């Protein structure tokens, strides 16, 4: 038996998109390791990446289509499954119209060809879709408002900076390939500032931790901006020649009270002065995470940090930038070549508000829903109401690898292939600017099929003769036909299995040609900032603010399928000693968290990583682990981008047995 080695890339919804070297013997992948020839992921992969083999060959993978009969799932053939689905869809469309059909998906399994499922529903007609974001939507909308697009500096540009600001981001656990870049830059003399309500694992690589109150990011950015203006440390050339709205924002900042801002952000004036001095000693680069925009004013928060970068003059310079995401390829995918000719008028529900809007929507009500690449039963805010709303839909089809909490609600489950069992293109719009050609490495698990094949077969069953019927290679060739505009060579991509868009600037906005309607950087409006401060002054309903963080070993609810943990853990600050003593709480004790949306049992742990009045919990737990933290989260949306506001969660602790 001789080993064969092939390259592929991890398709998880992650900053890194690791380049992977797979060892194959007798048609089976036996080992995964990092590809040492990739310049960004540099030959190592995270724990989630190493566990792909465990998932791909798990005995719990779904082998065949399954149909629920009298509350039990029975395996059936693909022919019966597709015939049943096609018949149901035709009946619903005839009786209620295409709007009675809904499609819900997310980024749990990345890949260009995964998105052909969206095209299927475009061809089906005007259906009900879900807009907005559970992840990053507010920040994306914010940077589009400021810059006109969302661009990040190349990873290597960090070596040109003096100060690295890690703002609400925890690369040690969620962006591990940024860490070697940070370490090398630090060895070269750069200072690292961590801004986070929690002392995360990234703290060990920081020179200074600014521990803001949850939701205090905008207030801190405003205080620093005010100080920079008052001390005439701002970049006059940038604000006068390349920005719009400076006079309005300057006047607003002059009227603000430091005292009010300090109260909201929880930081003293000395910290404001020190941070301003570091920020304006250019070049400084800022890396923003996604938790800080999961608030009511999430968009304004990112816009306030963008504003800070503009005033400091770190936009468009080497070693600078406000890095939130890095959109490279999305605009060049040639969906127009395969789109239906008719104009579409889909109906939309805001994703975070599914629990409310799905039950209220009418004329017609949703009768059938397709769910893929996600586990909304545990991921959606106001979980129990969301599950009730989904359960009321007459016909539910779920495409997945496993019997997730969402799949258990389905009437029909269709097993899909893992990324090493199919051919696809993988890239991310978060940090790593690579694009990967994932060639099929091994045959699929039992009767699992790629989504592209499933929807092609279903289109035939539905009599959709205009739906494109192509091989994976033909789809790839068609959809990437425009990428030569950004210097992507398809021959190089297929030969090397990864490539880069050559024409993409490593320093975005270097020419100060922004993609806004004005062609300039556009400052956030004072009205939006005033609304933020008004929201911060609203009284808190419960004792504690509960933050949910990502864990090193799992991405959302993935990889927790085999966890035997009975209950999630919730961490409380040791500074809450008065509360701990008055309630006679013990470390490791089972307690209940409760608010207006629901309750959740959790094991309480005492921590020195969070501040007084703040709890934090790792997210992603299944119902079998005691339930989702989203039992407690609000279905409200942020100011921009229809973003979920997970971090607006306030709770009280209930001691059991009293």
Average pLDDT of the segment spanning 618-634: 90
What is the reported pTM? 0.96
- Mean pLDDT taken over the chain: 95
DSSP state of 97: -
CA-CA distance, 435 to 450, in Å (whole number)?
Answer: 20
Beta carbons of 591 and 655 less than 8 angstroms apart? yes
Spatial CA neighbour of 323 closest among 511, 518, 507, 552: 507
CA-CA distance, 262 to 220, in Å (whole number)?
Answer: 7
Structure confidence at residue 658 (pLDDT): 61
Q: Roughly what angle, to the nearest 10 degrees, separates helices 298-312 and 526-536? A: 130
CA-CA distance, 35 to 15, in Å (whole number)?
Answer: 17
What pLDDT digit, counting tens, does each position of 220-253 carry? 999 999 999 999 999 999 999 999 999 999 999 9
Query: What does 258-287 look like in DSSP terms, one character per residue?
Result: HHHHHHHH---HHHHHHHHHHHHSS-EEEE
Strands (E), 148-228: 163-167, 191-195, 208-210
DSSP state of 202: G
Spatial CA neighbour of 140 closest among 148, 150, 132, 131: 150
Average pLDDT of the segment spanning 537-543: 84
pLDDT range class, residue 80, cuts 50, 70, 90: very high
Give the number of other CB atoms < 10 A from CB of residue 275. Answer: 25
Task: Determine if the peptide bond prior to 283 is cis (ω within 30°).
Answer: yes
What pLDDT digit, counting tens, does each position of 478-530 carry? 999 999 899 999 999 999 999 999 888 899 999 999 999 999 999 999 999 99
Res. 349: pLDDT tops 90: yes
Spatial CA neighbour of 512 closest among 238, 247, 143: 238
* Contacting residues for 140 by C-beta, under 8 A, at least 6 apart: 133, 150, 324, 325, 641
Spatial CA neighbour of 78 closest among 420, 409, 390, 456: 456
* Contacting residues for 277 by C-beta, under 8 A, at least 6 apart: none
DSSP state of 212: P
Task: List, in order of start, the domains of the chain with CATH numbers.
Answer: 66-126+345-428+446-481 (3.40.50.740), 137-327+507-529 (3.40.228.10), 539-655 (2.40.40.20)
CA-CA distance, 352 to 358, in Å (whole number)?
Answer: 11
Beta carbons of 142 and 293 less than 8 angstroms apart? yes
Structure confidence at residue 403 (pLDDT): 97
Task: Kindly give the pairing relationship between strand 395-400 and strand 128-131.
Answer: unpaired
Containing 297, the helix (H) or strand (E) segment is none
Res. 451: pLDDT tops 90: yes
CA-CA distance, 165 to 244, in Å (whole number)?
Answer: 25
* Contacting residues for 343 by C-beta, under 8 A, at least 6 apart: none
């Amino acid at each position: 038996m001789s080993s064969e080695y092939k390259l592929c890339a991890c398709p998880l919804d992650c900053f890194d998109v690791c380049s992977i070297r797979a060892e194959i013997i007798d048609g089976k992948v036996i080992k995964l390791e990092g590809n040492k020839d990739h310049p960004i992921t540099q030959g190592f992969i995270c724990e989630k990446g190493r566990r792909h083999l465990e998932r791909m060959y798990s005995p719990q993978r779904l082998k065949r289509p399954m149909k629920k009969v009298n509350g039990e799932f029975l395996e059936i053939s693909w022919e019966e499954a597709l015939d049943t689905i096609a018949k149901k869809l035709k009946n619903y469309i005839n009786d209620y119209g295409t709007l009675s059909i809904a499609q819900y998906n997310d980024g749990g399994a990345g890949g260009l060809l995964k998105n052909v499922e969206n095209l299927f529903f475009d061809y089906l007609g005007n259906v009900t879709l879900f807009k907005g974001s559970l992840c990053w939507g507010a920040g994306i909308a914010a940077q589009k408002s400021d810059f006109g697009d969302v661009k990040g500096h190349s990873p290597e540009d960090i070596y040109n900076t003096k100060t690295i600001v890690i703002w609400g981001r925890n690369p040690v656990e969620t962006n591990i390939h940024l860490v070697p870049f940070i370490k090398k830059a630090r060895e070269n003399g750069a200072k690292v500032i961590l801004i986070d309500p929690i002392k995360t694992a990234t703290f060990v690589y920081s020179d200074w931790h600014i521990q803001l109150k949850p939701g205090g990011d905008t207030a801190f950015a405003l205080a620093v901006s005010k100080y920079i203006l008052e001390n005439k440390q701002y970049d006059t050339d940038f604000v006068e020649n390349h920005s719009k709205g400076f006079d309005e924002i300057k006047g607003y900042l002059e009227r603000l009270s430091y005292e009010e801002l300090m109260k909201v952000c929880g930081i003293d004036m000395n910290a404001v002065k020190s941070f301003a001095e570091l920020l304006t000693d250019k070049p400084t680069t800022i890396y923003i995470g996604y938790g800080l925009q999961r608030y009511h004013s999430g968009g304004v928060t990112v816009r306030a940090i963008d504003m800070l970068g503009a005033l400091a003059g770190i936009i468009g310079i080497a070693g600078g930038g406000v890095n939130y995401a890095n959109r490279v390829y999305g605009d060049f995918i040639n969906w127009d070549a395969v789109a239906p000719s008719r104009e579409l008028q889909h109906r939309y529900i805001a994703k975070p508000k599914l629990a409310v809007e799905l039950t209220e929507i009418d004329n017609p009500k949703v009768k059938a829903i397709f769910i893929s690449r996600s586990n909304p039963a545990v991921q959606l805010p106001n979980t129990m109401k969301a599950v009730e709303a989904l359960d009321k839909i007459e016909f539910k089809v779920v495409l997945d690898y496993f019997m997730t909490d969402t799949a258990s609600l389905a009437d029909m489950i269709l097993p899909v292939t893992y990324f090493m069992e199919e051919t696809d293109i993988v890239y991310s719009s978060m940090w790593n600017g690579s694009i990967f050609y994932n060639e099929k490495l091994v045959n699929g698990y039992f009767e699992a099929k790629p989504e592209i094949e499933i929807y092609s077969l279903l289109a035939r069953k539905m009599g959709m003769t205009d739906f494109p019927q192509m091989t994976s290679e033909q789809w790839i060739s068609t959809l990437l036909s425009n990428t030569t505009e950004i210097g992507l060579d398809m021959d190089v991509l297929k030969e090397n299995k990864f490539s880069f868009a050559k024409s993409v600037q490593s320093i975005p906005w270097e020419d100060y040609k922004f993609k806004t309607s004005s062609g300039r950087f556009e400052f956030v409006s004072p009205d939006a900032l005033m609304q933020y401060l008004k929201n911060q002054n609203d009284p808190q309903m419960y004792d504690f603010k509960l933050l949910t963080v990502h864990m090193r070993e799992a991405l959302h609810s993935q990889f927790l399928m085999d966890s035997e943990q009975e209950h999630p853990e919730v961490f409380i600050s040791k500074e809450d000693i008065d509360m701990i003593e008055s309630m006679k709480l013990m470390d490791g004790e089972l307690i209940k968290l409760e608010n207006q949306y629901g309750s959740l049992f959790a094991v309480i742990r005492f921590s020195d990583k969070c501040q007084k009045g703040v709890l934090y919990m790792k997210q992603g737990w299944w119902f079998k682990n005691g339930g989702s933290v989203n039992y407690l989260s609000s279905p409200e949306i942020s100011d921009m981008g229809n973003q979920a506001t997970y971090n607006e969660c306030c709770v009280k602790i209930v001691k059991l047995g009293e």
